[in-house]
Each structure stands twice: as C-alpha cells, then as structure tokens.
Amino acid sequence: MLETKTAGISEGIQITKLITDIASKAKSASRILAKASSSSKDQALLFMSDGLLSQSSFIIDENNKDIEDSKARGFSTSFLDRLTLTPSRIKAMADGLKEIASLHDPVGEVVKMWRRPNGLLVGRMRIPLGVIGIIYEARPNVTADGSGLCIKSGNAVILRGGSESIRSNMAIGTVLRDALKKADLPGDSIQIIPVVDRSAVLEMLKLEDYIDLIIPRGGEGLIRFVSENSRIPVIKHYKGVCHIFADESADLEMARKISFNAKVQRPGVCNAMETLLVHEKIAGAFLPSIVRTLEEAGVEIRGCRRTREIIPHMKEATEEDWYAEYLDLILSVKVVKDLDEAISHIEKYGSMHTEAIITENYTNAQSFLNGVNSSTVLVNASTRFSDGFELGLGAEIGISTSKLHAFGPMGVEELTTTKFIIYGNGQIRT
C-alpha cells in the first residue's frame, strides 16, 4: 500500500538528497561486501539472528506504535494481523536468518571453465549484483528475510516498506546493521528508507547508477507502479493462473490427490491451481469424484458446458473465469479433447507461472514438459511445489514471472551475475 502524500518542492530536494545519499552509501558498502568471505557473511547472519531475539522487546515496542497508528487509521483486522510482530514471529525471522547462513555461498563459484585453442583458460565466476532495492508492503518480516538473502549473496540492500510498518522496519534495520558491524562488515550494507513519502520510491527508481535491481514485493498495483516508473531493471512477480491437466491415462486417484492439494492446501498463494483441465475420455469417470471432494472442502466450481453436462448443479464458467487468479476456494474446470487443446488453453489464458500434467503416458509427459514454457512445469506433482524452498534453492526472494535474468522461483543464486575470468600467458589478438 503506497501512500499518496507527495512532497513540496523544497521538501522534494531534501528527499532527493536523502535517497541519493542512502544509495551512495549502499554502493560503497556493496564493494566491500562483494569481497567479504563466506564465513564473515555467515557470522553476520548469525549475529543478525541473535540480535533479533535479544532485541525482541525493543522491536515489539516499536511495532506496537505502528499497530496503534494503523488502528487509528482504520485498517482491517487482517491487515493489522499481517503487521503484528509477536515473539514467535520474531523467532521465525531469526530462524530464517540461521537457515540462510547455512546455505551454500554462490559468490565466487566458477560455473563453467573451458580452454580456448590459443591456450586462454576462460571461466564464468559468480559475483554479487551490487545493490538491490526491495519495495514491499506491510509485512515487516521482509525486512529481515530480504536483508538476509542479499547479505548472503554479497549484495547491499535498500529496503522501502509500507508507511504503516516504518517503525518496525527501522527497529529491525537497526538491529541488523549492528550485527553487521559486530561481524566487521559495513553497517551501510543494509539501508532502511526512513521517510514515508511516496516520492522517496520515485527517487529510488531513478538511481540506475547506484542500484542494480529492484524487487517489488506486493500486489499487482505496486508491481505495475514500480515497473512503469523505474529506470532500474525490475524483477516482477505478477499473478499465477496455474493449471493442472488430467490426461487420458492419468492415475485417477493421483489426479484427485494432487488437484485437491493444489487447490485447497493454501488457496491464497500464486502457485495454487486456478483451472483444472480434464481429458474428455476420463471426464465422466474423474469429474464426479474430484468435484465432490473439492465441494466438501468448500470449493466453488465453475464449469465449461461439457463439465456441466456431467455435473449440472455447478455455475457456468465465463470467458473471464479462464483468465482469473482467484486466490480463493474457487476453481474453473474445462473438458478438453486432448493434450494439444490443453496446451493451447494454457498458452491463451495462463500467466506462464506453473502448470502440471497428471499422466501415465510417457510421450505426453515429455510433450507437456517440453511444450509448455511456463516458469515451472511438473509431471505428476502438485503445482504447490513451485517454491524456492521446495525446489531446493534454500530460500526464496520471489517468483519471477518475467523471463529476463531469472524465471520462476529465485534463490540466492539468482541475486548474482557472472563475470568472465581469463587466465592467459601473454596472448594477444591478431
């Protein structure tokens, strides 16, 4: 939720100076951090984790002020819940940082190395991106998670959370910066934007000479605002309109379990299933059982004409339903004549996020995996696995729905780039 207050002219100049100053400090810090050893970064992460626990009453006090303000401003109960920090939530943040410390350090890894005919030995070595800007909404845990992932990957970070959580974020930031200093790393590697004015975000988005990447974390409105106003590359994660296709040869019990899991286990997230596609040859055998199971769990089903011929009591799916990311206990269901129609439907209506096929047919499994170019494509597993932790990336900074740089779940490796390193012995070009 971006506040709409905008600054006057002289205030504007002050904000420009403030933000440029913050970005410049982050950039200087990033050069030191880029050369820091894995052990010193991990030490810092452990100090950060300890600091959150030992300073939890300070953090909770500051958080309470944010909550009081937000209550006075009439925010919803669910908003207030997301904003609230409790000892157990702080413990979860601290545990998260410990887990990040235990990950493999991507920096310095040589991902490939080869010899050229002239004897040059050429390699590609992972290096940090530099300075990463994270722009997010209420949840204060992003302040700790985002900082942890950036520090691990050798990047400085500039955090700009929602105005409602500014005191909580500043408090967490203070604790994290102290921990960095204790580990002899620059405190300036973590910067919290201390002003709530929206122009601060616009200023940030102009600083392409200081900031290498912007990651917006929040709703579609925030992401659009950021990507339309940024001169800095932005990694977007838009919506997930995820599909499961139950093929002719699907094991129906497996299809039922996976579809149920993908829709019901956590409906409000981007990798939950929104549309179920069913091969016409199994529609009669499969649909009654899966629909009953889902309806018993409170799911509203919206079906195509052929689905409703089999189960007449459901609502009809409209054209908009095929595009919809419900993020709720609602599912659209369509009967298709074959794999090709399923893939065409996904290409037309999908968001290139995550799709699964349930099949026992080898050729169809391979055709689906090769033919669908969404960021995650599964055979015989739930769409809910499209998640950095579940895929083994260790942790997740987001799920990219744009193809440049990273596509799909992003871990610490995706916060690096590679440089070419070349060992020669006097080679010149002729």
Binding positions for its own copies, rule: CB under 8 A: 31, 34-35, 108, 114, 116, 120, 122, 125, 127-130, 212-213, 227-228, 231, 233, 251, 254, 257-258, 260-262, 265, 347, 365, 369-371, 373-382, 384-386, 390-392, 402-409, 417-430
Nearer to its own copies, 14 or 380 (CB): 380
Query: Tokens 């904000």 belong to which residue?
Result: 15
The least distance separating its own copies from the CB of residue 371, rounded to whole angstroms, comes to 6
Nearer to its own copies, 54 or 373 (CB): 373
The least distance separating its own copies from the CB of residue 167, rounded to whole angstroms, comes to 33
Q: What strands, in cross-sheet order, belong to the sheet with 190-192?
A: 190-192, 156-160, 131-136, 213-217
Nearer to its own copies, 193 or 365 (CB): 365
Nearer to its own copies, 64 or 367 (CB): 367
Nearer to its own copies, 285 or 404 (CB): 404
Q: For residues 105 and 152, is the Cβ–Cβ distance under 8 A?
A: yes
d(CA 335, CA 291) in angstroms, rounded, equals 13
Listed as own residue / partner, the contacts of 316-321 with beta carbons closer than 8 Å and 24 or more positions apart are 321/275
Nearer to its own copies, 20 or 417 (CB): 417
Q: For residues 170 and 59, is the Cβ–Cβ distance under 8 A?
A: no
The least distance separating its own copies from the CB of residue 224, rounded to whole angstroms, comes to 10
Taking Cα atoms as reference points, which of 288, 305, 304 lies closest to residue 296?
Answer: 288
The least distance separating its own copies from the CB of residue 153, rounded to whole angstroms, comes to 12
Structure tokens at 236: 């977007």
* Beta strand extents in 147-222 (DSSP E only): 156-160, 190-192, 213-217
Taking Cα atoms as reference points, which of 409, 346, 400 lies closest to residue 372?
Answer: 346
The conformation of residue 234, written as its DSSP 8-state character, comes to B
Nearer to its own copies, 171 or 299 (CB): 299
Nearer to its own copies, 74 or 117 (CB): 117
The least distance separating its own copies from the CB of residue 223, rounded to whole angstroms, comes to 12
End-to-end CA distance of the chain: 58
Query: Tokens 């002020």 belong to which residue?
Result: 65
Largest distance between two CA atoms of the chain? 79
The least distance separating its own copies from the CB of residue 425, rounded to whole angstroms, comes to 5
The least distance separating its own copies from the CB of residue 166, rounded to whole angstroms, comes to 29
The least distance separating its own copies from the CB of residue 360, rounded to whole angstroms, comes to 10
Residue 192: is it exposed, middle or buried by C-beta count within 10 angstroms (0-12/13-18/19+)?
buried
